[in-house]
Amino acid sequence: MSNSIKSTALEPDPSLDGDAATLAQRLGRALPVYGLVGLTVLLALLFSVTSPETFPTLFNLRAILSDKSVIALLALAATIPMITGKIDLTVGYGIVLWHILAISLQTKMGLPWPAAVLIVMLLAGLCGLFNGLLVELAQIDSFIATLGTGTVIYALAMWHSGGRQVLGELPDGFLALTGGQLLGLPIVAFYVLAVSVSLWLVTEFTPLGRALYVIGANPKAAQLNGIAVRKHVMGAFVASGLLSGFAGVLLASRLQIGQASVGLEFLLPALVGAFLGSTTIRPGRVNVWGTLIGVAILAIGISGIQQLGGAFFVEPLFNGVTLLVSIGIAGWAQQRRNLSIKRRIAERQLDSVGQATPVGVGAAAGASAPAHPAGPA
C-alpha cells in the first residue's frame, strides 16, 4: 500500500511552538499559513495599479470567475484523493471526453440534456471507481495508474470525435447551466463555492474527513485502528471522478462545442492549485480553502500579466514558477518550525530534569543519613 504523496492528518501541538515574543517570530510563523493569501492580495493590488483601466473592473472579475471556475472544480477534484495520499491525473484527461460526450449525446443521439448530464456523471464516477480498483486492488501507484487510465480516456475522446469538432444545436436549459448570473456574478462561481463549502464541511467536521486525513498520513496505522482504507480510497477516487465529470458538463455548456484539443491545458493549473493548497492555510496538509487560494493566485497572476502584454508562453511559465517558489517557501518555513519544535522539546526535558533533581537529591540524602541511636531507657 504505497502513497504517492503524504498528507498530514494530525495537527501539531501549538504549545510546542512556544511564545512568539518578537514581531519577527510572529511573522515567521504566519508566513507559511497566510503568506500565499498575502501574495494574492499584493498581486491584485499591483495589477490594479499597473492596469487601472482594465484589471480592477467588474468585467475582468466576471471573466476570471467564468474562465477559472472549471479549473477550480478540477483542482478540488484532485484535492480529494490527495487527502488520502494519492494523485489523480484523470481530472485533466477525463474532462476532454466528458465535455465531448455531454454535447454528442444531445446532438448526435438526441438525448435530453438532463439524461446526457446524468450519463456523463455516471461514466465519470465509474472511471473513478476503476482508478480506485487499480490503486487498491492491483496495488499500482496512483500516478502510474491514473496516467494510464487518462491516456486511454484521451484516446477514446479522439476516437469518438474523429479528431473533429462536435457541433450541434444545444437546448436553452443546458446553456443556462453556465449562462446565468447571480448577484451580478457568473453562476458557475457559486457552483464552485457550493462544492467548496460542502467539501470543507465533510473533510474538517466529519469522521469521514478525519479518516481520509489519517489514511493520507499513515494507511497502516489507519487500518490498525479499524478504518476501511480500501473503501475510503476508492470512494475518494469516485468523488474525484464525479466532480471532474461535472466540470466537463459545465465546460461543454460554456464552449457549446466539443473538441479533443480542449481540456488537457487544464491539467497543470488544476494540479498546481491543489499542490499550492497544501502550502497555505494549513501548511503541509491538503485543504479545500488552500486549493482555492492556489487557483486564485494563478488566475490573478496570469490575467494581470496578460493585460500587461505577456507572451503566449506566460501562462505555463507562471504556473510552473509559482509552484516551485511556493513549495520552496513552505518547505523552508516548515524546516525552521521543526527546528524550533525540537529546541522547545529539548528545553522542556531539561526543565523537567532540573525540577526533579532537588527532590531526588533530598530523598537520597534522607535515605543515606545514619540512624540516631535511641537514648537510654
Partners of residue 166 on adjacent β-strands: 258
How many Cβ atoms from other residues are within 10 Å of residue 57's Cβ? Answer: 13
pLDDT tens sequence across 203-259: 989 999 899 999 988 888 888 888 889 999 999 999 999 999 999 999 999 988 888
C-alpha pair distances (Å), 162 with each of 110, 117, 155, 340: 19, 22, 10, 59
DSSP assignment of 271-303: HHHHHHHTTSSSTTS--HHHHHHHHHHHHHHHH
Among 98, 93, 92, 95, which Cα is nearest to 269's?
Answer: 92
Which residue has cell 522547545?
Answer: 344
- Residue type (1 letter), 244: S
> Is the Cβ–Cβ distance between 250 and 136 less than 8 Å?
no
Q: Could you give the maximum distance between any two Cα atoms of the chain, in Å? A: 120
Q: Output the pLDDT for position 223.
A: 86
Among 87, 50, 32, 53, which Cα is nearest to 267's?
Answer: 87
C-alpha pair distances (Å), 7 with each of 16, 37, 39, 80, 287: 21, 21, 24, 11, 10
Q: Which residue has the higher pLDDT, 133 or 256?
A: 133
What are the start-end ranges of the H helices in 137-186?
142-161, 172-179
Name the grid cell of 8. Answer: 498530514
**Taking CA 150 as the corner, what is the angle to CA 148 and CA 155, rounded to the nearest 5 degrees?**
100
Helix (H) or strand (E) holding 181: strand 181-182
CA count, 13 A, side-chain hemisphere, 78: 37
Q: Output the pLDDT for position 13.
A: 47
Q: Output the pLDDT for position 224.
A: 87
| E strands in 104-220 | 181-182, 185-186
Name the grid cell of 339. Answer: 527546528
Quick check: pTM over 0.85?
no
- 310 in helix, strand or coil? coil
Q: Output the pLDDT for position 336.
A: 65
Partners of residue 186 on adjacent β-strands: 181
- Residue type (1 letter), 180: G
Residue 376 falls in which region: left (phi positive, over 0), alpha (psi -120 to 50) or beta: beta
Partners of residue 20 on adjacent β-strands: none
Q: Is 367's pLDDT higher than 70? A: no
Which range, 28-37, 105-114, 303-312, has the best average confidence (pLDDT)?
Answer: 105-114
pLDDT tens sequence across 77-104: 999 999 998 999 999 899 999 999 999 9
> Rounded to an integer, what distance in angstroms lies between the CA atom of residue 131 and that of residue 135?
6
pLDDT tens sequence across 150-176: 999 999 999 988 878 888 888 988 998
Q: Output the pLDDT for position 16.
A: 47
> Rounded to an integer, what distance in angstroms lies between the CA atom of residue 104 and that of residue 166?
7
pLDDT tens sequence across 312-352: 777 778 777 777 776 676 566 557 666 766 777 887 778 77
C-alpha pair distances (Å), 157 with each of 19, 39, 116, 239, 360: 57, 38, 16, 21, 76
pLDDT tens sequence across 15-66: 444 555 566 666 656 666 666 777 788 888 888 888 888 888 888 889 889 8
What 8-state DSSP symbol labels residue 370? P
> Is the Cβ–Cβ distance between 177 and 256 less than 8 Å?
no
Q: Output the pLDDT for position 358.
A: 56
Q: Output the pLDDT for position 320.
A: 77
- Residue type (1 letter), 213: Y
> Taking the domain 14-347, which CATH number applies?
1.10.3470
Name the grid cell of 343. Answer: 529546541
Q: Output the pLDDT for position 376.
A: 47
Q: Is 377's pLDDT higher than 50? A: no
Q: Output the pLDDT for position 268.
A: 81
Contacts of 356 (CB under 8 A, 6+ apart): none
